[in-house]
């Protein structure tokens, strides 16, 4: 089964070409070794309605979730070198933080909201 579930921050604004949206997602690594990168930068591709949604609502710095599949490919560049690609093809995507939390500094930098600190208006239930 080819299934990927990611949470990360968008590195650059969405690039649209026709009905295809492309963006890069920075996904933090759980364990960090000295001298190694702290995050993986993954190419994400959305088609059709998913592309329109990403272009309309996503922007650089936003924390989002992506569920999809890995797709590999290759092409030959203008210098005759074969270039290999790996993309995440979107099946589902969504927001991981409220609009208000994007502009406000947070004390807790974790992925989950501390219920004791959340206002009732932010609670999903």
Domains, the chain, ordered by start: 4-99 (2.40.50.140)
Instruction: Write down the pLDDT at residue 117.
Output: 41
Identify the burial level of 105 via C-beta atoms within 10 angstroms of its C-beta, where 0-12 means exposed, 13-18 middle and 19 or more buried: exposed
Instruction: Write down the pLDDT at residue 110.
Output: 45
Task: Report whether pLDDT(6) > 50.
Answer: yes
Q: Are 38 and 28 in contact (CB under 8 A)?
A: yes
Token duo for residue 92: 């589902």
Q: How far apart are CA 104 and CA 18, in angstroms?
A: 34
Dump pLDDT digits (tens) for 70-122.
999 999 999 999 999 999 999 999 999 877 666 555 444 444 443 334 444 44
Which pTM was predicted? 0.75
Instruction: Kindly report the number of other CB atoms within 10 A of residue 111's CB atom.
Output: 10
Instruction: Write down the pLDDT at residue 67.
Output: 98
Dump pLDDT digits (tens) for 22-73.
999 999 988 877 877 789 999 999 999 999 999 999 999 999 999 999 999 9
Instruction: Write down the pLDDT at residue 108.
Output: 45
């Amino acid at each position: 089964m080819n299934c990927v579930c990611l949470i990360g921050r968008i590195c650059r604004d969405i690039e649209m070409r026709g009905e295809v949206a492309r963006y890069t997602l920075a996904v933090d690594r759980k364990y960090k070794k000295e001298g190694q990168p702290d995050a993986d930068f993954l190419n994400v591709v959305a088609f059709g309605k998913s592309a329109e949604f990403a272009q309309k609502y996503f922007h650089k710095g936003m924390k989002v979730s992506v569920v999809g599949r890995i797709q590999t490919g290759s092409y030959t560049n203008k210098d005759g070198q074969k270039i290999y690609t790996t993309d995440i093809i979107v099946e589902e995507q969504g927001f991981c933080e409220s609009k208000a939390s994007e502009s406000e500094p947070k004390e807790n930098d974790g992925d989950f909201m501390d219920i004791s600190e959340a206002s009732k208006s932010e609670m999903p239930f």
